[in-house]
Amino acid sequence: MPKISILNAQAQAVGEIELSDDVFAAEIKPHLHWEIVRNQLANRRAGTHSTKTRTTVHGTTKKALRQKGSGGARHGSRKAPIYVGGGVAHGPHPRDYSYTVPKQVRRAALCSALSTRLQGGALLVVDSFGLSAPKTKTAALVLGRLGANKALVVTGGEDANLHRSIRNLPSAKYIRAEGVNVYDVLKYDTLVLTVDAVQALHARLG
């Protein structure tokens, strides 16, 4: 099992923790990263885009000109797509973009993403941020000391003070271990886990 140092809010090593091979030393599979990120982005789409066809636009249905003899093309309605203000041909309509990915694939992709961060030296474990009250400036200072300015911060349970401190930082995000996902792990340069977050991830993925 790989070991990693536990840091405090001053970026000083205060101990070590063992990481599960199954979760943090898994085989790295970039193609699974692509598949899961594509799935997550597709599932986020509202799919509410819509256009009006010639049956739904407002307009006259009177024949534009006589069938023959005018020298013009044959037209039966001003609502045809060829006219300004007419309907849209083959335009988008509301649809559901979401689709499912097998549970085993989602798990393998997340373990692969976590392993990528560990192998790249971009995974940190901290014992505590030491916040007794919400303070964005303090949270930014701690992340700066850790060298994690663009970071995903993960805790085992809800930490209201830390959550409220980080949510104002444009380059950092707070999330609980139960919500860790491939997209966020790969989006942020550094993954910062608390000790209880590591234990929660072991329980969830191990």
- Per-residue pLDDT of the chain (206 residues), as tens digits, is 788 999 999 999 999 999 999 999 999 999 999 999 999 999 999 999 999 999 999 988 888 889 999 998 888 899 999 999 999 999 999 999 999 999 999 999 999 999 999 999 999 999 988 888 999 999 999 999 999 989 999 999 899 999 999 999 999 999 999 999 999 999 999 999 999 999 999 999 98
> What DSSP designation does 73 have?
P
Domain ranges of the chain: 3-43+100-205, 51-91
Residue 64 has a pLDDT of 86
Residue 2 has a pLDDT of 83
Which tokens in the block code for residue 56? 């739904």
Q: Whole-angstrom Cα distance, residue 72 to residue 67?
A: 9
Residue 128 has a pLDDT of 86
108 three-class SS: helix
Q: How far does the chain reach from its first CA to its final CA, in angstroms?
A: 12
Number of alpha carbons in the 13 Å side-chain half-sphere of residue 30: 0
- Burial track 49-62 (b if 16+ CB lie within 10 A, e otherwise): eeeebbeebeeeee
Q: Please give the torsion angle defined by the CA atoms of residues 24, 119, 30 and 189, in that order, rounded to the nearest 10 degrees.
A: 100
Architecture in CATH for domain 3-43+100-205: 3-Layer(aba) Sandwich (3.40)
Residue 130 has a pLDDT of 81
Is 112 in contact with 27 (CB distance < 8 Å)? yes
43 three-class SS: helix
Rounded to two decimals, what is the model's pTM?
0.85
